[in-house]
Amino acid sequence: MKTIDWVDGAIELIDQTKLPGELVVNRVDNLDSLIYDIQRLAVRGAPALGVAGAMGVALLAAQFEDLDKVRSEAARLRAARPTAVNLSAMVDRVLPVIEQGPAAVLAEALAVRDEDIAACYSIGQYGADLVRGLVQRDKARIMTICNTGGLACVERGTALGVIQTIFEQGWLEEALPVETRPLLQGARLTAWELKQMGAPFRLMVDSAGPFVLAQGLADAVFIGADRIAANGDTANKVGSYSLALGAKRAGVPLCVVAPETTIDMNTATGSDIEIEDRGSEEVTTFQGVRSAPEGTATINPAFDVTPHDLITAIITDRRVIRPSAGEKLSEVPLGPTRAA
């Protein structure tokens, strides 16, 4: 099933806060509910947020005849989460179509959905081919963080989508997801997706990742991206930078996997990316149970930035760029979108 879709005049999305315990689909028919689901991470992952943004504009176009009202409400939607560029970019893509009427807006939003599905299949092909050249063994052991599978997109996924392609081709030895503090997207979501596909995997705590790399137990690290700056610096789930440092020390390639839509050429470097701080509750409690003393102050960045010189390759649906080798996003030409 699709993580997010348009069904009978409304958005239907998997509520990822309920996983892995239960599979719940939310039906969203108004902007406030959509923003609420975005901010509480019922829907998350840069590509899925892009689709949510596009479909959110379709909701608004169907609800309001006043185009200025649609624009003002869309501004609230695009600001719901600041770090992932796909949300604002897809709102901005679909919003100009409102002058053509609700049907045209919906058609554009569905095109965003379909392009994301095609991009994920293409990413899997580009990524699997690259790993063949990077890994010096018959089977690959791939470490990853957070959730970058179908739950972060519409279907299949980015970094986890490459792992799925390698598994389907028969040469995945194991995936090595880290649990991903503080909300455990690696444990709750990635482990769930790996189990659904029947792929071999072992879960580890976040802080074990660099040591496991030093022990030679992984052949590559694959991470997603919420925004890739023009120079290749990449914002991704917090903990990615630690894995990049560990991978560099261990001589293990680290690859960023994301669709072309996650590249933001208007953001020059990683220092220009706004990093969302999600407050204290996620750190001092978990699922309603207090884990730190009342009143504990926190630092809770949802993302960190990996500098481009630590990135072996950026894999998209249209090309592979090697920042650590000096390749620039502005100079590597686009290739074709590859079929499944």
Residues with active-site annotation? 226
Give, in order, the Cα–Cα distances in Å from 315 to each of 128, 266, 286, 337.
10, 19, 34, 12
Closest CA to 215 of 162, 163, 141: 141
Could you tell me which residues come within 8 angstroms of residue 173 by beta carbon, excluding any fewer than 6 positions away?
137, 139, 140, 141, 200
Q: How far is CA 266 from the centre of its chain?
A: 19
**SS3 of residue 110 by DSSP:** helix
Nearest to 323 by CA among 243, 233, 216: 233
Determine the Cα–Cα distance for residues 301 and 238; give it in Å rounded to an integer. 7
Return the exposure string of 25-57: e unless at least 16 CB atoms fall within 10 Å of the residue's CB, then b: ebebeebebbbebbeebbbbbbbbbbbbbbbbb
Where residue 46 falls (left for φ over 0; alpha for ψ -120 to 50; beta otherwise) is alpha
